[in-house]
Amino acid sequence: MRDASARWTADPDRYGLHLALVAVHGGRLVAESYGPTADAGTTLVSWSMAKSVVHALVGILVRDGKLALDQRAPVSEWRDDERSTITIDDLLAMSSGLRFAEEYVDAGASDVIEMLFGRGADDVAAFAASFPLDHLPGAQWSYSSGTSNILARIVTDVVTDVVNGGEGGGERDAAARQAAMRTFMERELFEPLGMRSADPRFDQSGTFIGSSFLYCTARDFARFGYLYLRGGRWGDRQLLPAGWAEHARTAPAAAVPADETFGYGRHWWLWERYGFPDAFAAHGYENQYVVVDPSRDLVLVRLGKTPEELRANLLPELAGVIAAFGRPG
């Protein structure tokens, strides 16, 4: 592992900027290394790894009976049209049928850039929820950052309604929504895991930008992965519903296109296509990874800034690091 990290650091033209590599094997932190601009205390951006955190937040509400996978998504913009049949599980599986262009280069053709940095930035979920259906819900897979922000707003609506003792409306004041959501995330997820560095970011409406913006140290990202490695259990507490980690790596009915390098579950990517049949991972822009491999009892975190054109150089090296770990005796 250290050899790989040294190669990545020494050759940024081939691998991009290396920031962090952390391995937890058999329940122990067994190795870590950092690039020239980071250390164990550096908080780094999740990008789309935050989507997997959204899966956990939904799971907590499912655990408490506040949401159900088969229920219609409570989105006010959809009450009176064909989008009203979209379920929570359709959203988690990226098979809502909603139009959304997940393009990271061409701003003119990118709904995600417009959502995060353009006219949708003040209310990312409202922007994403405004799109029409292109397909029947559940019929086709289409990766969408907008979908994750819709889910993050649903979680916030539920949390604020519970806090205020309401009847389904939720809190509308942005500052109150943000405060309640942050408290919920800390109480139910970050504090039990010891993720003291976790810093979620919110838009002007008070919605957690669950598609993209959670800052953590590499060790804390590993803690989150370890929660899923242990089936949603942390110590003597079952933080996520029984079977929720398995739900994360269950492929949806809508097929992921064959040209995708990885398969997809519910807000987690599946590594079976890449030669690791039990592994699943949180992925982020510029090749951030939290890989969970139950067959090796392993969580591996890789953080950096590797552009898409260098991904083909990095991924085989990362796969080699994973393969070097056997099942602990």
In the chain, domain spans: 2-323
Q: How confident is the model at residue 163 (pLDDT cuts 50, 70, 90)?
A: very low
CB 291 within 8 A of CB 299: yes
Q: What is the mean pLDDT of residues 19-32?
A: 96
SS3 content of the chain, % helix, strand, coil (to 5): 40, 15, 40
pLDDT tens column, 65-121: 999 999 999 998 998 899 999 999 999 999 999 999 988 776 568 899 999 999 999
Distance CA 184, CA 189 (A): 8
Distance CA 22, CA 2 (A): 10
Q: What is the mean pLDDT of residues 149-176?
A: 77
CB 65 within 8 A of CB 111: no
Top-confidence range, 4-18, 150-164, 286-300 = 286-300
Q: What is the mean pLDDT of residues 144-157?
A: 97
Q: What is the mean pLDDT of residues 142-158?
A: 96
CB 328 within 8 A of CB 294: no
User: What pLDDT shows up at residue 102?
Assistant: 87
Q: What is the mean pLDDT of residues 228-245?
A: 97
283 has which bridge partners?
A: 289
* Vertex 289 angle, CA 284 and 293, to 5°: 140
* Vertex 139 angle, CA 267 and 137, to 5°: 75
Distance CA 247, CA 270 (A): 12
User: What pLDDT shows up at residue 169?
Assistant: 52
Tokens of residue 256, six digits: 């992921």
Arithmetic mean of pLDDT over the chain: 93
More confident residue, 108 or 122: 122
- To 10 degrees, what angle do helices 174-185 and 145-164 make? 90
Q: What is the mean pLDDT of residues 262-278?
A: 96
pLDDT tens column, 54-64: 999 999 999 99
Inform me whether the pLDDT recorded for 329 exceeds 90.
Answer: no
The SS3 of residue 89 is helix
The dihedral region occupied by 168, where left means phi > 0, alpha psi between -120 and 50, and beta the remainder, is left
Q: What backbone torsions phi and psi does residue 280 show, to the nearest 5 degrees?
A: -140, 160
CB 4 within 8 A of CB 21: yes
Distance CA 54, CA 181 (A): 12
Distance CA 162, CA 181 (A): 11
The SS3 of residue 26 is coil
Distance CA 200, CA 32 (A): 24
CB 267 within 8 A of CB 92: yes
User: What pLDDT shows up at residue 106?
Assistant: 65
Inform me whether the pLDDT recorded for 166 exceeds 70.
Answer: no
User: What pLDDT shows up at residue 167?
Assistant: 45
Tokens of residue 328, six digits: 């602990």
User: What pLDDT shows up at residue 4?
Assistant: 83
Inform me whether the pLDDT recorded for 162 exceeds 70.
Answer: no
DSSP code string of 123-165? SHHHHHHTSPBSS-TTS-----HHHHHHHHHHHHHHHHHHHHT
* Vertex 255 angle, CA 227 and 214, to 5°: 35
Q: Among 102-116, 178-192, 235-249, whose mean pLDDT is lowest?
A: 102-116
Distance CA 229, CA 293 (A): 7
**2-323 has CATH 3.40.710.10 classification:** yes
Tokens of residue 174, six digits: 């942005």
